[in-house]
Amino acid sequence: MAEKQALVSRQSVGMHASSAETVKVLVMYLWEFSGDPNVEVRSAATWVAAAKMPRETWALEVPDHFQLFAFMGKLTGAALKVAREARPTSTEQLFATLVDAFPQRFHQNSLTLRVASGDAFCGFTRMNAVARLEEMAHELHDQRESLAMLARATRSMFEGPWANIGVNPDTITKEGLDLVLSKLKAELARDERIKPELFGLATSQMQATAPRPTPQKVACHVATSTPAAADSQTRSQRKMISLKARVKMLEAEIAALRRQLEQQQL
């Protein structure tokens, strides 16, 4: 009898150890989700779909309570607070709670505002730009105006490559934007000099985090000023004037979108 109990105990321990290892695989590629529309590019619906994918694709057999704790461990901020208050007893309840608390349409509106202001592009580099643009295109796939705004922003950041591609951003579709981003990825791989020209809030944040020049550097800059440098400064000034005009236009678009969002919430 004692031997049988010991065998059952060992089997139980082995099963739990196996489940724990499987759970690690389940959440290995799942990102943390806060639910904050001012931070997140990917929506709650996208997070839930990513959470479901491994177990559905690989037919992973893990007790549901193990999965629930693992998924809860990937939540932060408002999303974690909502989940704790809901006290879900299953993964499906957790998923339904998140999708209901952070609706897709609201996320799309918030992301569109961030695209218009440039905030969505903070931290963009030539290495991550296309992947992040693809994420945004996925989130805005069924919003024609938002896709057009994303396309215009992409053209603004990559004017040279966009001119070579030759697509009208105002009439672009999700499939058309996917094709543009595929071509842009090829252009970036071909020419290492291509970098995104950020605008709006993305530029403001970059300037705020940039180190301030020391007096020695300023003096050196003045002492070594040349006609070529002066011409470069003139070009920079023209670019800044153009940027300010673009920001004013985007602010008008943001105001219109905010009014639209407020009407939808009434």
Helix-helix angle 44-58:2-26, to 10 degrees: 130
User: Cα dist. 262→111, 138, 142, 165, 258 in Å?
Assistant: 15, 24, 20, 37, 6
pLDDT score for 203: 74
59's torsion region: left (phi>0), alpha (psi -120 to 50) or beta?
left
Scan for tokens 């944040």, then name that residue.
205
Structure tokens at 156: 């603004």
Cα gap 202→166, rounded to integer Å: 25
Task: Name residue 186's amino acid.
Answer: A
pLDDT score for 13: 32
Radius of gyration of the chain measured on its C-alpha atoms: 25
Cα gap 262→89, rounded to integer Å: 34
pLDDT score for 56: 78
Cα gap 147→77, rounded to integer Å: 28
Helix-helix angle 200-209:227-265, to 10 degrees: 120
108 within 8 A of 136, measured Cβ to Cβ: no
Scan for tokens 């990559």, then name that residue.
158
pLDDT score for 201: 81
Reading the chain (266 residues) residue by residue, the pLDDT tens digits are 444 443 333 333 333 446 677 788 788 889 999 999 999 999 999 999 999 988 777 766 788 888 999 999 999 999 999 999 999 999 999 999 999 999 999 999 999 999 999 999 999 999 999 999 999 999 999 999 999 999 999 999 999 999 988 899 999 999 999 999 999 999 999 999 999 999 888 776 555 444 444 444 333 333 333 444 445 445 545 555 555 555 566 566 666 666 665 665 56
109 within 8 A of 65, measured Cβ to Cβ: no
Beta bridge partners of 260: none
Which is nearest to 107 in space by CA: 166, 21, 56, 34?
34
Q: What is the DSSP string of 120-188?
A: GGTT--TTTHHHHHHHHHHHTTT-HHHHHHHHHHHHHHTHHHHHHH---GGG--HHHHHHHHHHHHHHH
pLDDT score for 23: 81
pLDDT score for 224: 33
List Cβ neighbours of 205 (8 Å cut-off, separation of 6 or more). 119, 122
pLDDT score for 165: 87
Backbone angles phi, psi at 75, to 5 degrees: -100, 145
